[in-house]
Every structure is written in structure tokens, then in C-alpha cells.
Amino acid sequence: MKRRMNRYLLVIFILLTSISIVNGQDEIEFLLPPDSEPPPADTINYWKNGGTFNFNLQQVALTNWAAGGESSIAIGTKFETFANYEKEGAVWQNRFKISYGLIRNGDSKNRFVKTDDQVILNSKYSQKFTEKVLLTTSINFQTQMDEGYKNKKIAGTDQIERTLISNFMAPGYLQASLGLSYRDEQTITATLAPFTGRFTFVLNDSLSNAGAFGINPGDQIRPEAGISLTGTYKKDVVENVSFLGNFNLFSNYEKFPNTVVNLEASFKLKVNNYLSTNISSQLIYDDDITLTRNDGTKGRDIQIKNVINVGVTLGF
């Protein structure tokens, strides 16, 4: 009980520290402006913002097709936006992403099955020591919007048993950290945070009672204190082809060096201002999560998701 109370206090301290630094951003200045005469304040735009909306649709309709196969329809959407602020010694970066996809195989009697479901919100505030080294506090939130099911065929029948394995805020993740960042604005940013608090939420009663996603059975929140390494890598490979990688590594001090790994990589192939192709992969490993594999066995394993989107992209 005492150890759990200490973990709660440490995580709350990290969250309060993060919030206080963000609220006090106007009072902290580690890097003074250059000696040269600045342009008039009303001509400077310290904000950079924008975003994209992607929609893709795929349909295969087969009627008396001699070669065999199955009709299908798939729909995918992704909305992503950012708002970044930089003035003198202060840097504030915000990113929001939401994506959702469905597929239905066969005729209209079959169900649509979720293929993609992600909600991500990042907010990171930094004060510069130099242009490349910064003191950073950040908050990262992730969850999903819809129910997720595991389908299993009942032995000896054609019936499918559907088992609920996830839902909105089951799981949900909130990670707050305080540490040092390095940035090369053209290529890489990385933050090493020895003060990191991580909350895992499972707000669905049936999943929390089963102890899903590493929480204790019956609990709905699991707090952890540890160290994290997060960052991005971006590179223009060739003309109209760009690469973006995101990494988030977290290790609980009580189980160090066991590490939660979350890696994302994507290639964007731009055809024109409206048509593009996105190829993305995500790899997750969490030693506290027990999975039901495709062969029915249970255990810890690597999670992998690959997505290819070809469709209409609107930028703003």
C-alpha cells in the first residue's frame, strides 16, 4: 500500500510540474532575443498551423466470378492538424490526430469490422537553453472511439463468436513528462525525460474486471512512474516522397529495464494537391499486456499494424 501511494504521489507531482511550467511560460526566458533590431511586433506571426483530411474508399463487387473471391467494401478516414508557437525562448507544439476505418467482406448480411481507430493528442512546451537543446514538458493522450472485437469461429459450426476486447478509454493512455530535448529542426527531435508519469485507463467494467491491458482486476486506473524517450524523425526521400517516424519508449522504474515500445513509420507519396498515398506501420510491445493470438493461444507478443491508404487528401 505504501509503495502504491508513493507511485501516486510521484505521478501527480510530475503532472503538476508539467502544468505549472506551461502556465508559467510567459515568465521563463532562458534564451534572450538577438541584439539585432526586431521587426515590428504586429508584422510577426509566431504561430504555424495547418492540417490534412484524407478519405479513401475501396469496393470489390463480384457476381458469378469463375475465378472465385469475395466482394468487399472498405472505408478509411484520417484527420490530422497541428498548431505550433515559437517566440524568442519559448516553443509550444500541439498535434491532434484522429483516424477510423471499416471493412466488410461478403454481402450486406455480414458486419462491418473495424480496421483502424485512433485518437492522439500531443502538447509539448519547451524553453530554450540553445537553439538545439531545450527544457521540455509534454503531455500525450491516446485512446480510441469505438468498440473492438475478437472474432472466433465456434468449432463444428459456421457461427462466429464475438468477444469485446477494447472500447473508448479501454484502453486510454495519459503520459506526462519533464526532461531535456534535442532538436535538429530539419530531421530529428528527441526528448529524454527521467521524470515521466504514465496512466493506463480501462473504464469498461467487463474489461477492468478481467484485468485487461495490465491493470489489476477490478481497477480502472493504473499509475506508473518511470523514464521515457520520445521523438520524431522526418526526411524527404525523393521529390514528393517523405518519411516520418515517431517513437515512444517508456520504462517503469519498478520494472526497469523492461520497456514499453511504440514505434510508428509512414511514407507519404504525393501525386498532386488532392491525391496521395500513405503507407504506415506501427509496432507495439508491452510486457504487461496479454494477447489472444490468431491461433487462439494467449501470451505476450509484438503487435503490428500495417495500413495503406490511397485517396483524396485536402490540406488547410
Region of 89 (left: φ > 0; alpha: ψ -120 to 50; beta: rest) is alpha
How distant, in Å, are the alpha carbons of 45, 56, 195, 316 from that of 266? 30, 17, 29, 20
Residues 147-168 pLDDT 10s = 999 887 777 777 778 889 999 9
**pLDDT of the residue at 208:** 95
**pLDDT of the residue at 26:** 45
Contact between 61 and 71 under an 8 Å Cβ cutoff? The reply is yes
The DSSP bridge partners found for residue 89 are none
Does the predicted TM-score (pTM) go above 0.85?
no
Contact between 62 and 71 under an 8 Å Cβ cutoff? The reply is yes
**Rounded CA gap, 207 and 205, in Å?**
6
* Residue keyed to cell 515521466: 196
**pLDDT of the residue at 210:** 92
Q: Compute the C-alpha angle 150/152/154, nearest 5°.
A: 150
* Residue keyed to cell 500513405: 278
**Rounded CA gap, 273 and 286, in Å?**
39
**pLDDT of the residue at 151:** 81
How distant, in Å, are the alpha carbons of 134, 173, 209, 288 from that of 221? 32, 10, 12, 14
**pLDDT of the residue at 28:** 39
**pLDDT of the residue at 31:** 44
| Cell triple for 270 | 504525393
**Rounded CA gap, 21 and 126, in Å?**
9
pLDDT along the chain (316 residues), means of 10: 50 52 44 53 81 89 85 92 94 96 88 93 96 96 94 77 92 97 90 96 95 93 96 92 96 92 94 86 91 78 88 81
The DSSP bridge partners found for residue 239 are none
- The count of other CB atoms within 10 Å of the CB of residue 82 is 15
**Rounded CA gap, 262 and 165, in Å?**
20
**pLDDT of the residue at 289:** 87
Q: Look at residues 296, 274, 287, 221 and name the one whose alpha carbon lies nearest to residue 54.
A: 274
Residues 79-127 pLDDT 10s = 999 999 999 899 999 999 999 999 998 888 888 999 999 999 999 999 9
